[in-house]
Structure 1
Amino acid sequence: MSATRLIDRGVIRVSGEDARDFLQNLVTNDLDPVTPGRAGYGALLTPQGKIICDFFILALSPEDGGGFLLDTPLLQTADLMKRLKLYKLRAKVVLEDLTEKSAILVSADGAPLPVEAGFVYDDPRLPALGQRAIADAEGIEALVMAEPDAYHARRITLGIPAGGRDFPYGDTFPHEALLDQLGGVSFKKGCYIGQEVVSRMQHRGTARTRVVPVVFDEGIATETGAEATAGGKPLGTIGSGTDGRALAMLRLDRLADALAAGTAPLGGGLAFHLAEKPTFIRFPFPGEPGFGAAAGVAL
């Protein structure tokens, strides 16, 4: 077991008799399967369909007070609280920011976390990521055995993007951040904020920009936020990296055109190529069957 604490995470509790319906009408994913033994992953969107904040959703048993805990990005927690309060209206819901007295633990190597870590749950995005836990901050450091960099290196190797590192909040559609590939969007549930835009992208296949794993040819990744180009034309942005690998938000149709023309893509001036496609990604990469006019469509 190798647990690490992510200090860049916050915690919001949503409780009250209307808590489930309240969240169900707001977030991208379906809350019906979310139970005390099974967490969910989703996001709150703008009406234009862009991600305000993505988060994990943990249901609490009646013995633990009921309701839900949201494992959120720290820098977005206050804004998320503000927006949830705006949408509350007359719903019988209680909203609490528990960030100061809570801690988020994650598995740095995919191994199970200790049961004493608190509310432990499997990462709903990908089994290989292992477990996460929402814990009481007091005394939690005794369980921390690894640095956060170890967790992020594993995440990058597995091809899992992180908000604020690999895609910007407020300017990214769920498809671009791979929420449709990682179980973060339901295309069968009822309405939620931004649903029309997300559904249109899904059915028309207009998601040409995607976060994908890349490998730098010289074995050294450029800095996070560097521009990706090909032949002097913009492709996107390089995200977080480790050991010569990185995640990059790229226009895959433009990348395909560059590769067809024999032009090497560059990130911060360093040559890179697409890494092997992660098994959870279902849309075609450039050069694969099915990649064409509808580049980047989720199949």
Structure 2
Amino acid sequence: MTITTLPDRAVVRVAGPDARGFLQGLLTSDIDTLTPDHPLYAGLLSPQGKALFDMMLFADGDDVLVDVAADRAEALMRRLTMYRLRKAVTIAPTDLVVIAAWDGEGEGHTRDPRLAALGARWIAESGPLADGYTEHRLEHGVPDSADIGEDQLLWLETGADLLNGVSFTKGCYVGQENTARMHHRDKVRRRLVPLHIEAATDTGAILDAAGRSAGTLRSRHGATGIAHLRLEAAGGTLSIGGVPATALRPAWLAGAIAAASAA
């Protein structure tokens, strides 16, 4: 049973009479559904549909608290300010922290909006610090902000559609056209996929059994990595710098891998 602050996350407050409408026109999730009991996972995209920022949103009265990677918080505030124009919105950093809890902890708090199996997640003024969150997240194959990067991957390639990170009914937002087209035409051919890697390796290039490029390793923690991978290659033999690797199939991703492998 573990509860911990996440020191690599920061909290930004978006406030003012126009705050929710402002975010509704920018982000991938439906802000109208945001309540204290229902946080959201969302992205701010480029016009081409690539992920610029991934974030979690928490309601604080009419304000919205944005849980974002700490090293991206300042850039996110600049980007939001650029879009603000004449809207009655304030965007400011806070001293609040992000808390995660799992294995029976976090009772009475909201669940991680991406995946219930990740446990609870909420915003607080302070909290304890414990080890194990990265291992817990990777146990469920869920990528982090560092895996997603900035303006590198299309939002659906990050698994956002499988992790409650996009609404296909809310209407327009930045990058909506390409994101909706990919979804409705079933054109998501690459995704972030967890891998089991059998030994140490220095290269990020992933090859399939025929020696063709299958993807790129985005991060690694112990024997588990997150790769940007061709889904059709996920069911076969993979290697990274000559080291064998196997694509894992967490429950939330298994259907997408199976469908691509069968196509």
Same fold (TM over 0.5): yes
| Residue 195 of structure 1 pairs with residue 214 of structure 2 | no
Question: How many residues end up aligned between the 2 structures?
Answer: 262
SS in structure 1 of the partner of residue 159 of structure 2: coil
1:90-169 → structure 2 map (5 Å cutoff): 90-98=86-94, 101-107=95-101, 109-113=102-106, 120-137=109-126, 140=127, 143-144=128-129, 146-147=130-131, 150-164=132-146, 166-169=147-150
| Residue 280 of structure 1 pairs with residue 252 of structure 2 | yes
| Residue 174 of structure 1 pairs with residue 174 of structure 2 | no
Does the CA contact (< 8 Å) of 1:5 and 1:103 recur in 2? Answer: yes
Report the RMSD for the aligned CA atoms in angstroms: 2.1
| Residue 244 of structure 1 pairs with residue 223 of structure 2 | yes
Does the CA contact (< 8 Å) of 1:221 and 1:245 recur in 2? Answer: no
Amino acid at match of 1:179: A
TM-score (norm 1): 0.80
SS in structure 1 of the partner of residue 157 of structure 2: coil
SS in structure 2 of the partner of residue 240 of structure 1: strand
| Residue 86 of structure 1 pairs with residue 82 of structure 2 | yes
SS in structure 1 of the partner of residue 137 of structure 2: helix
| 1:228-248 Cα shifts (integer Å, max 9, x gaps) | 122443211223344533222
SS in structure 1 of the partner of residue 178 of structure 2: helix
SS in structure 2 of the partner of residue 281 of structure 1: helix
Does the CA contact (< 8 Å) of 2:232 and 2:260 recur in 1? Answer: no
1:177-256 → structure 2 map (5 Å cutoff): 177-216=158-197, 218=198, 220=199, 222=201, 226-230=204-208, 231-254=210-233
Identity %: 35
| 1:77-126 Cα shifts (integer Å, max 9, x gaps) | 1111011111111111111111xx2222212x4433377xxxx4310111
Distance 1:37 1:252 in 2: 34
Question: Gapped runs of 5+ residues in structure 1?
Answer: 294-299
Q: 1:46 maps to what in 2?
A: 46
Distance 2:238 2:63 in 1: 47
Question: Gapped runs of 5+ residues in structure 2?
Answer: none
TM-score (norm 2): 0.91
Does the CA contact (< 8 Å) of 2:114 and 2:163 recur in 1? Answer: yes
| 1:267-289 Cα shifts (integer Å, max 9, x gaps) | 232111222x222226432xx46
Pick closer, same or farther for the CA change 1:242–1:35 going to 2, 3 Å: same
Distance 1:112 1:90 in 2: 43
Pick closer, same or farther for the CA change 1:273–1:282 going to 2, 3 Å: closer
* Higher-Rg member (1/2): 1
SS in structure 1 of the partner of residue 213 of structure 2: strand
Amino acid at match of 1:170: D
